[in-house]
Structure 1
Amino acid sequence: MKPRAFVPEKLDLAVFIRESGSLEGEWPAASLQRLADAAAPEAPAAGWPALRWSLQGEVRQPKGGQAQAWLHVACQAEVALTCQRCLKPVTEALAIDRWIRFVDTEAEAEALDVDSDDDVLALPRHLDARELIEDELLLELPLVPRHDACPEPLPQAPDEEVVEAEEDRPNPFAKLAALKRGGSA
């Protein structure tokens, strides 16, 4: 019997998992629009390397329990974001290596997700693997992208100007101290 051909953008997930299906490939980073929108303006997603991904379905049979549907999602990508210190592009390597358990209903997924360390989702009829992988990559983006050491020194005011500015500024508590002593400011 010829193995079934699975299409990542319209994956029959129940069959994929039941048959222990396996898919892998590469996509241009620019094809994931929401991820591409996070790009630094000077380094658009069209210039990023292609992202590599793989999916593996698995049925697990725990002792004394029902069979469980699992999907292993793995992906590696390099993205260029805007450094929040120097505002220049910073390259971030993203890696996903996650198992997701699928159950029959949203209610069951919600109940299991509360008590479990694993990701639990309701089993859809068809799954867009590209969208799932993009979601996982977006969750991996750093909250505050920045270089370990920025390529250019950050602009700073000369030390003398800072000291002079502090000396010229009146102390906001001087009036309060004068009032407390019984005098006027």
Structure 2
Amino acid sequence: MMSRTMAEAQLPKRVDAIKLVTVSQQFNADIDSKQLTRLSEAVEDCVAPVHCEIRFERDQEKHRLLQGSCNTSVVMICQRCLGNVTIPVESSFQLGLVFDDDQAKQLPKRFEPVEVDENGQLDLWSVMEDEVLLALPMFPTHPEGDCQFKQPGSKPETTDSDDKRPNPFDVLAKLKQK
């Protein structure tokens, strides 16, 4: 079996989250962003893998946690000039691993609950995809000065056809005269 360095490692898709908490597992690995369907649909292009630095652990109050960060780069449409803009996306998170809604309600507010299945399994890719989606800007734009946005002229352009167009209220004026 060929060993891979940590930077080249692919993040496992499904994991036994409860077991990983028990052994305080850490990952420094990537997900091929093009395989994340919801992310691909939300942006024009995924141009970098989603790099994840995460750790499974317990806090002092014995809550099971998934903590860390993820980052990537995506291409979105600039809301100013409608051109493509590459956006760096970063997210830091503290997630509480729970089995049900009752456990979620008992989590301190600083933790966002993430539900594992009855066997403690977690779709890690889906969780990381959620974090990236939540970090996407609502109104992506180029940095100030880089945008291709053209300011309209001070006076709107008029054409001869504007002058010749009939006024729809002329009909009402004629009726009123009768």
TM over 0.5: yes
Kindly state the Cα deviation for residue 11 of structure 1 after the two structures are TM-superposed: 0.4
Q: How many residue pairs are counted as aligned between the two chains?
A: 147
- State how far apart, in whole Å, the 1-side matches of 2:64 and 2:33 are: 29
The 8 Å contact of residues 78 and 140 in structure 2, kept in 1 or not, is answered as yes
Alignment partner for residue 148 of structure 1, among 143, 146, 156? Answer: 143
Q: Which segments of 5 or more consecutive residues in structure 1 lack a partner in the other structure?
A: 1-6, 169-185
Kindly state the Cα deviation for residue 107 of structure 1 after the two structures are TM-superposed: 2.1
Q: Which residue of 2 aligns with 1:122?
A: 115
Q: Which residue of 1 aligns with 2:131?
A: 136
- Residue-by-residue CA offset, 1:128-150 (whole Å, 9 max, x unaligned): 11110001100111111112335
Classify 1:154/1:68 alpha carbon distance in 2 versus 1 (closer, same or farther; 3 Å). same
Alignment partner for residue 14 of structure 1, among 14, 18, 40? Answer: 18
- State how far apart, in whole Å, the 2-side matches of 1:132 and 1:140 are: 13
Aligned pairs for 1:59-98 within 5 A: 59-62=58-61, 67-98=62-93
Q: TM-score, normalised by structure 2?
A: 0.72
Task: Please report the RMSD computed on the Cα atoms of aligned residues, expressed in angstroms.
Answer: 2.5
Alignment partner for residue 27 of structure 1, among 31, 44, 62? Answer: 31
Q: Which residue of 1 aligns with 2:106?
A: 112
Q: TM-score, normalised by structure 1?
A: 0.69
Q: Which segments of 5 or more consecutive residues in structure 2 lack a partner in the other structure?
A: 1-10, 164-178
Counterpart amino acid of residue 152 in structure 1: Q
| Structure with more of its chain in helix, by fraction | 1
Q: Secondary structure at the match of 2:79?
A: coil
